[in-house]
A and B are shown apart, each in its own frame.
Chain A
Amino acid sequence: MGELRHLDIGTGGEVSVNWFINGIRKRIQTEKLDQYRVMYPSVLEGMSDYNCPTEALRDGKWDMDKCIFCRQCDLDPTGNQDTYSVEKAIPNIFKKSLYLYPVDSGTCGACNVEFTTLFSPQYDSSRFKIFMANTPRHADALVVMGVHTEGMERVLQEAYDAMPEPKVVIGLGACALSGGIIGRGAMEKYDIHIAGCPPTPAAILKAIIEARDKK
Chain B
Amino acid sequence: MKYYEFGDKTGRYVGRTEKYDVYTSTLTEADKEENDNEEKTQGEIYFNYGPSAGGLRESVNFQILTPGESIRDVIINSGFKNRNISIIGDSISDAMLKVERINGFHSASHSIAYALAVEDALNIENDDLNDARIVEIELERIRSNIDVIKGLCESAGFAVPEKQLLLLREEVARIISGAFAHRYYFSVNRINSIEGDFSRISLRTVEKQFRSIYEGLLSSKIFLDRIQENGIVLNPISTGPAARAGNFRYDARLDSKSLIYGKFNTVLEKDGDTFSRFLVRAEEIFESINIIESYGVKRIFRKNKMELSGSGDGTARIESPAGDLFYYVKIKEGKLADIQMSPPSYLNIRNFRSALRNKNIFTDFFFVWESFGIWISELEVKFQ
Contact = CB atoms under 8 A, between A and B. Distances in A.
Interface string A1-44: 11111111111110111011011001001000000101110000
B169 to A, nearest CB: 7
Contacts of B361: none
A104 B57 contact: yes
Nearest to A175: B101
Interface stretch (A84-92, A145-153, A163-171, A206-214): A145-153
B35 interface: no
B266 interface: yes
Given A69-B187, A108-B103, A120 B169 contact: yes
A40 to B, nearest CB: 5
Contacts of A106: 59, 81-83
Contacts of A200: 183
Interface in B30-68: 51-55, 57-59
Contacts of A112: 57-58
Contacts of B101: 108, 110, 180-182, 197
B283 A6 contact: yes
A75 interface: no
A103 B52 contact: yes
Given A2-B279, A70-B97, A180-B101, A11 B219 contact: yes
A135 interface: yes
Contact of B163 (A16, A120, A134): A120
A108 B173 CA distance: 17
Contacts of B94: 53
Given A53-B97, A120-B169, A109 B51 contact: no
Contacts of B226: none
Chain B interface size band reads 35 or more
Best-buried of B59, B94, B105, B265 by chain A (most CB within 10 Å): B59
A117 B104 contact: no
Given A7-B218, A36-B174, A68-B97, A105 B81 contact: yes
B283 A16 contact: no
A16 B220 contact: yes
Contacts of A17: 215-216, 219-220
A185 interface: no
A156 B186 CA distance: 27
Contact of B81 (A11, A68, A149): A149
Given A19-B158, A149-B81, A104 B59 contact: yes
Contact of A109 (B105, B160, B167, B269): B105
Contacts of A40: 181-182, 186-187
B54 A134 contact: yes
Interface in B287-335: 287, 303
A183 B84 contact: yes
B82 to A, nearest CB: 6
A11 B163 contact: no
A68 B97 CA distance: 9
A103 to B, nearest CB: 5
B195 interface: yes
A4 B265 contact: yes
B104 to A, nearest CB: 3
Given A6-B211, A77-B181, A135-B54, 17 more contacts: A2-B279, A4-B266, A11-B219, A16-B219, A19-B159, A22-B216, A26-B164, A38-B182, A113-B57, A113-B147, A122-B167, A134-B55, A149-B81, A152-B52, A181-B97, A182-B98, A197-B101
Interface of B: 51-55, 57-59, 79-85, 94, 97-98, 101-105, 107, 147, 158-161, 163-164, 166-167, 169-170, 173-174, 177, 181-184, 186-187, 195, 211, 214-216, 218-220, 224, 265-270, 279-280, 283, 286-287, 303, 375, 377
28 contacts: A2-B269, A13-B218, A13-B219, A15-B219, A36-B174, A40-B182, A53-B94, A68-B186, A69-B182, A70-B186, A71-B303, A106-B82, A107-B81, A107-B377, A109-B103, A109-B104, A109-B377, A112-B57, A113-B104, A113-B105, A120-B166, A132-B54, A135-B54, A147-B83, A149-B83, A155-B51, A181-B97, A183-B85
Query: Which 6 pairs between the two chains have the least Cβ-Cβ distance?
Result: A134-B54, A110-B104, A12-B219, A108-B104, A151-B80, A17-B216
